[in-house]
Structure 1
Amino acid sequence: MRVVGRGAVLLTAIAGAAIVVLRRPDAVLHAQFWAEDGPLWFGQAWNGGSLHALTTSYSGYLQTLPRLLALPAVALGLRHAPLLFNASAIAIQVAPAVFFVSNRCESLVPRRSVRVLVAFLYLLLPNGEINANITNAQWHLALLAFLVIVARRPRSRWARALDCIVVAVSCLSGPFCLVLVPVAAAWWWRRRGNGMLWLGSAATAATAIQVAALLLSTRPSPPHLGASIGGAMVIFANRVVLAGSFAQDQAPFLLADSGRSNALWAIPVTIVGIGVLGTTLLRGPLSLRLFVLAAGVVMLGGMLDARQDPGQPPLWRGMATPPFGGRYIFMMEVAWMVSVIWVASRLPRPRIRILGVTAACTCFVSGVAIHWSYAPYADLHPERYASQLERAGRGTIVTVPLNPPGWTVTLVAH
């Protein structure tokens, strides 16, 4: 049985990495920085020192995960740093699936076959914005931290220490401490033990540091929301229920915007979505209920305080259709997907249960097949700038263009 378990974990790790890479092979075959990867994580560590960059906040929060990876990236130099970033992001992206399949999560879902199914649906769930880039790897790390909190405690001291590190780094990478600490508190209340005490202490200490950074830093101006009940229904119907059910990431699917006509179409979809999630919250296991609540809080936070560039339309209008703001929707899509499977598995008759799960998986997989790959990044010839930086005299400034268009990183030759 143990051999079977290890085999399933290994298979999930290999297949998961293959899925992520095959959707955008250039992430490995021709690695390049993406957005903040260059000027913030690598550039600040290269120009100002890695330790100083580690304590620098961005958008009001500490971003410890990418800044920790910038330490070895600086040693590798501009030529190899993008590959390190992307490979690390892929490993973090696959990690929640691998962990969920392992015996640690047997107490959450006893049947390994079901855990494997959920893990692969998670890996196949499209979200190009957070795929294989270290800037957005914090969202996958937060999911892993949640699983660590609710999973069975490990026996090894080293494994317990690793659990604490995962939770602490997640709490120190963005605002996820605001949901992870309440989750840890609720789980400790129901599952008291020394393991939870250590995890809770790590999360609380990291949260105290993150809150201090938030209070001492300057936050960007709040976005123009354009909030309305109809807009909220379209976002929920389009980005969670429809996109999560049909694995849509790039197309608006049925509802093209947040206008009044689409708000009317969103009503029945919203009712179905609330029914499924409401059933999960009322009757589901504690771990699933906590995950739905945590994912909902994360999504709501994005709807109220997402980063918005000048000149863009109101936030809620932009979030009504993909791919804008996909990172804020990601955890709610996962929660929706798992809730659909759980509700379908609780249908009254075996044939109906099988039909429900099969229908849900068929809709999902058909969407994955239609929209499998992501467009490769534009080739900006990073090796040319790496050679230029390597040959430049000490103090020479080299400016490197990045994806997406308009982003650059300015590096001072050492």
Structure 2
Amino acid sequence: MWNEKKPLNTAVILGVMAFSFIVFVLRRPDIVTHAQPWAEDGKIWMAGIYNNGFLSSLFLPQNGYYQTISRLTYGISMILGISNAALGANVIAILIRCFFIGFILSSRMKFAPLSYRLAAVIYFILMPNQEEGFVNITNIHWYLSMYLVAVVMSEDSHGIAWKTHDYALLVISALSGPFVVFIAPCLLLKRVCERGGIANAIKGVNTFDAVMAICCVIQVAAILLSPDTARSSAPLGASVGILVKIVAYRIVAGSFFNNELIAFMPYEKWVCLALFIAFIVPALYFFVKSGWRFKVALIFPVLMIGFALAKPMMSVTDPQWPVFFGPINGQRYFFVTNFAFYCFVLFLFSRINCKSKLIVSVFSLVTIAILLPSFSIAPMPESGFKEDIEKFNDMDSGSKMDIRINPPGWTMQLIKK
């Protein structure tokens, strides 16, 4: 049995990261054996860099905000050639997840007992309902946001290596999606609690705080200056009843079960209401009673899902909230909330003073048993990408071709160099 007070050494953490990499690949082997671009991975990032060059594409916003990690990743992956760029991008996407796991297990997160962090890592590796984002760079900004929140919640960094890690993650994550807008208030809350009031928090602003503030301003400006056409104009179809069903179905139950197995839930209003209340009541209670870390762990996913529900991209014609009842629809919106919910359950166990470590261990085993049926993720359908690239390579310079990518029906247009 591990020692809760003794941190894991670097070799063990690296071993867990390497094992995690292998498990991620085993969940869907085609991400390395038959890598194909997914959606914006090909249509925007790969095509933009190939046609227009890396530097000219790097600083362009997309869908109303900057997505630096996607462009940066494909800028690196294109070194492998256009036929292998998707493989390079997938490997980077897996590595980002593995580095997040390593950070959770590091001494920086020692405020949480090791057994709880190991339980969180096991869940993170085996999370259900991951098909849409498993694994691709287009959706990696959701995971980068969790990573950055973990840094905000962690012990402050000391030493050049950790500081370099924190600043690199801060800049890349903050400029790779709108989430820094929700993380900045979390950092402010931390500083207010640590420094004893808003005035002292402002007086004690350090470089990390300033960089996050600058990145936040950049993303807010991009959001405000982007045309409304960047988001769907379809009606929301919102109501309190639908909100209760979404939370109960996609967050509470969806954190543990494949959505297709529980697709009946939106039609069981009393079950949904019971689960909603069972979640909301303790969450609000501990939000009031607990310290700043719990507040941060609740504020970020709430703000994130609130923004997602206010401005979803689920349909361009139909009311959007009811579309969430489709088991595979909008999975990306729940990557953060479901991991946060599982951590919330672990937090509740930590409030049990007697034998909480044993309870967490048993709960982890039960979690593994529940999630194993969802372990294997179906491979992407054959899009014709490899075949089209072979034809494209034989074309004359200046020729244009629409290259087939996933999901079915998507293409990217390349101009032969």
Q: Normalising by the residue count of structure 1, what TM-score does the alignment of the two structures yield?
A: 0.91
Q: Work out whether 1:78 is the aligned partner of 2:82.
A: yes
Alignment partner of 1:100 out of 104, 121, 132: 104
TM-aligned CA deviation for residue 4 of structure 1 = 4.2
Instruction: Report the alpha carbon displacement of residue 375 of structure 1 after superposing the two structures with TM.
Output: 0.9
Q: Which residue of 2 aligns with 1:335?
A: 340
Q: Residues 25 and 284 (structure 1 numbering): CA distance in 2 closer, same or farther, change over 3 Å?
A: farther
CA distance in 1, matches of 2:349, 2:65: 39
For the structure 1 residues 96 and 223, does the alpha-carbon distance in structure 2 shift closer, same or farther, using more than 3 Å as the test?
A: farther
Shift of 1:276: 3.4
2:399 aligned residue? 396
**Is residue 2:69 matched to residue 1:68?**
no
Identity, in percent, stands at: 26
Once the two structures are TM-superposed, the CA of residue 254 in structure 1 deviates from its matched residue by: 5.9
Q: Which residue of 2 aligns with 1:240?
A: 251
Q: CA deviation at 1:405?
A: 1.0
TM-score under structure 2 length normalisation: 0.90
CA distance in 2, matches of 1:293, 1:73: 35
Aligned partner of 1:124 in structure 2 is 126
Q: Map 1:240-389; keep pairs closer than 5 Å.
A: 240-244=251-255, 247-251=256-260, 253=262, 255-257=264-266, 259=267, 262-311=268-317, 313-347=318-352, 349-350=354-355, 353=356, 356-357=359-360, 360-389=363-392
- 2:145 counterpart residue number: 142
Do the aligned residues in 2 keep the contact of 1:292 with 1:332 (CA within 8 Å)?
no
Q: In structure 1, what residue type is equivalent to 2:251?
A: V
SS at match of 1:302: helix
Secondary structure of 1:338 counterpart: helix
> Is the alpha carbon distance of 1:195 and 1:22 closer, same or farther for their aligned partners in structure 2, counting shifts above 3 Å?
farther
- Of residues 148, 152, 157, the one that matches 1:154 is 157
Query: Is 1:24 equivalent to 2:28 in the alignment?
Result: yes
Contact kept, 8 Å, 2:153 with 2:296, in 1: the verdict is no
Contact kept in structure 2, 1:16 and 1:120, CA below 8 Å:
no
1: CA distance between counterparts of 2:38 and 2:377? 14
**2-side partners of 1:208 and 1:33: how far apart?**
31
Check the 8 A contact 2:234/2:316 in 1, yes or no.
no
The Cα shift of 1:396 comes to 1.3
Deviations 1:19-40 (A, max 9, x none): 2111110001111100110010
Higher relative contact order (CA 8 A, sep 6+): 2
Structure 2 counterpart of 1:206: 215
Name the counterpart of 1:407: 410
Residue ranges of structure 2 left out of the alignment (5+ in a row): 196-200
Deviation of 1:356 after TM superposition, in Å, equals: 5.0
TM-aligned CA deviation for residue 196 of structure 1:
7.0
Report the more deviating stretch, 179-188 or 73-82: 73-82
Residue 254 to residue 66, structure 1, CA distance change in 2 (3 Å): closer
The change in CA–CA distance for 1:340 and 1:321 in structure 2 (over 3 A counts) is farther
Instruction: Indicate the SS of the match to 1:408.
Output: strand
Alpha-carbon separation, structure 2, partners of 1:374 and 1:403? 15
Distance of 1:391 and 1:63 partners within structure 2: 32
Instruction: Measure, in 1, the Cα distance between the counterparts of 2:187 and 2:403.
Output: 42
Task: Give the counterpart letter for 2:397 in structure 1.
Answer: R
Secondary structure, counterpart of 2:25 in structure 1: helix
Unaligned runs of 5+ in 1: none
**Alpha-carbon distance between aligned partners in 1 of 2:107 and 2:293, rounded to the nearest angstrom:** 16
- In 1, distance between residues paired with 2:375 and 2:19? 15
Q: Residue type of the partner of 1:234? A: K
SS at match of 1:401: strand
Q: Aligned equivalents of 1:348 and 1:70: distance in 2?
A: 48
Q: Deviations over 1:72-102 (max 9, x none)?
A: 2333321110001111111112222210101
> What's the counterpart of residue 37 of structure 1?
41
Q: Does the CA contact (< 8 Å) of 1:153 and 1:195 recur in 2?
A: no
**Secondary structure of 2:254's partner?**
helix
Question: How many equivalent residue pairs?
Answer: 404
Cα distance change of structure 1 residues 276 and 337 upon mapping to structure 2, 3 Å threshold = farther
Q: Distance in 2 between matches of 1:12 and 1:210?
A: 34
TM-superposed CA distance for 1:171, in Å, is: 1.5
Of residues 68-77 and 87-96 in structure 1, the stretch that sits farther from structure 2 once superposed is: 68-77
Assess, with a 3 A threshold, how the Cα gap between structure 1 residues 156 and 131 changes in structure 2: closer, same or farther.
same
SS of equivalent residue, structure 1 residue 155: coil
Distance 1:161 1:324 in 2: 37
> Residue 81 of structure 1 aligns to which amino acid in structure 2?
A
Q: CA deviation at 1:239?
A: 1.0
User: CA contact under 8 A between 2:384 and 2:405: conserved in structure 1?
Assistant: no
Residues 118 and 384 of structure 1: CA distance in aligned 2, closer, same or farther (over 3 Å): same
Structure 2 Cα separation of the partners of residues 368 and 228 of structure 1: 31
Q: Deviations over 1:249-279 (max 9, x none)?
A: 441516443x5xx222211111111133234
2:39 aligned with 1:46 = no
